[in-house]
Copies of this chain bind each other. A is one copy, B any other.
Amino acid sequence: MRFAIFAALLGSAIPAPVFADEVSDYVTGEADELVSLYKHLHQNPELSGQEVETAARMAAELRDAGFDVTEGVGGTGVVGVIENGTGPVVMLRADMDGLPVTEETDLPYASTKTVTLENGSPAGVMHACGHDVHMTSWVGAARYLAANRDEWSGTLVMIAQPAEETGHGARAMLNDGLYERFPRPDHAVALHDSASMPAGTLGMASGYAMANVDSVDIIVKGSGGHGAYPHTTKDPIVLASRIVGALQTLVSRETDPQEAAVVTVGAFNAGTKHNIIPDTAHLQLTVRSYTDERREALLSGIQRVARGEAISAGIEEENWPEVTWDEIYTPALFNTEEQTSVLMSTFADRFGEDRVVALDPVMGGEDFARYHRADRDVESTLFWLGAVDRDVYEAAGGDGTGLPSLHSAKFAPDPLPTLTMGTEAMIGAALRLFAAD
């Protein structure tokens, strides 16, 4: 909605479309092939860090298209490079991992793959987050750009990243020298399919688009005993309950109302019997923020609240709550503003304003965020790609709700319109960014 206004104002100022009917024709021509690749990937999902077959396929695709390919970057990561004269370095990224979800669609190409999890239990594997869509669009773009080097000038870096779901893949590729061993990108672009937008549409948010995602554990220590004699104990359940209550104020009182932040206690587990006060309570939190400052304020606030409530409850220092989190968290995704505006205009101009939506940020997370964080000079944009069958979308009310969400066992993108839009948008973004400098 906001976009409509900007676009109206921008009006005549937008440069001539940088990608044209050739692209569209190409994508139309490749459509069957892309759908076929998609179905293959969909039926052969691999879990995070185990993307061996998938990575091999991505590498083969790049090699076939003419890229200079390196495998095994940050585990199973794949990097393909084409140097094509002077100009900016543009990096396009796909992620490769599936999820331990047993598919519940009735699709003829539904995944039937199963694995045994670390804890010994069996599970299905499914591309329930649509990374198969990402890869297929990315392969389509790689083929076109490799085949049409006269349309652009600069260096194209295609990366297929492992382990997005666990938040480790981008970090692993960066740590393995992505920006040192290969041309450092000026522009980085990724897409993510959307389970609440109809196929054939795109969307993006400028600035912070997705959140810092932290998982925090609090081990609240008391001193257990018989439930009939509370005075001989230090009750960790009452204490942990007070911590849950006090945590609310980190958002309600301590965060600027204009700033988004979430502190959710997703699990509270303590004790097993009515009449035995346990020794400990275990809280599991998810914490969301956009800026580093807010993230640090929330995390230190959680620590402070846990400690203060323990002091209030008379817990000795050696038993103050253990508050821990992993520094390998998923950082907030920042869509750099200038590049994002350029892509927004480009897409609106190419696909029509009614198919391109300016979105609010969401509080989910994506480790594509790390490519910009690793080097703030890398402009970056992740945009959303509508994936929902139009009829399904309308039947559910037409507002994006009431549909199977990402990670759902019933998530089922509509392949043709999703993949053609995804591929064309990826190609278009790259062409526009090569042209921009």
Chain A interface (Cβ < 8 Å from any Cβ of B): 2, 5-6, 8-13, 206-207, 211, 213, 215-217, 227-231, 233, 235, 237-238, 240-242, 244-246, 248-258, 260-278, 281, 284-286, 288, 301, 304-305, 307-314, 337-338, 341-342, 345, 360-364
> Chain B's nearest CB lies how many Å from the CB of A381?
13
Given A230-B253, A244-B238, A268-B237, do A274 and B260 touch, yes or no (CB 8 Å)?
no
B266-A227 in contact (CB<8A) = yes
Give the most central of A206, A235, A273, A338: most B CB within 10 Å: A235
A307 to B338, alpha carbons, bound, how many Å?
A: 49
- Kindly report how many copies of this chain are found in the complex they form together: 4
**Main SS of the interface on chain A?**
mixed
- Select which of B246, B270, B363 is within 8 A of A257 by beta carbon: B363
- Select which of B269, B275, B364 is within 8 A of A266 by beta carbon: B275
A364-B228 in contact (CB<8A) = yes
A9-B5 in contact (CB<8A) = no
Given A6-B341, A304-B311, A309-B312, do A235 and B257 touch, yes or no (CB 8 Å)?
no
B8-A338 in contact (CB<8A) = yes
Q: Which residues of B contact A257 (CB under 8 A)?
A: 228-231, 251, 260-262, 288, 363
Instruction: Write 17 A-B pairs (CB below 8 A) sorted by A numbering.
Output: A5-B341, A9-B13, A10-B10, A227-B262, A229-B257, A235-B265, A237-B268, A238-B248, A238-B249, A248-B253, A251-B257, A264-B275, A264-B277, A267-B272, A267-B278, A269-B271, A311-B311
> Chain B's nearest CB lies how many Å from the CB of A314?
6
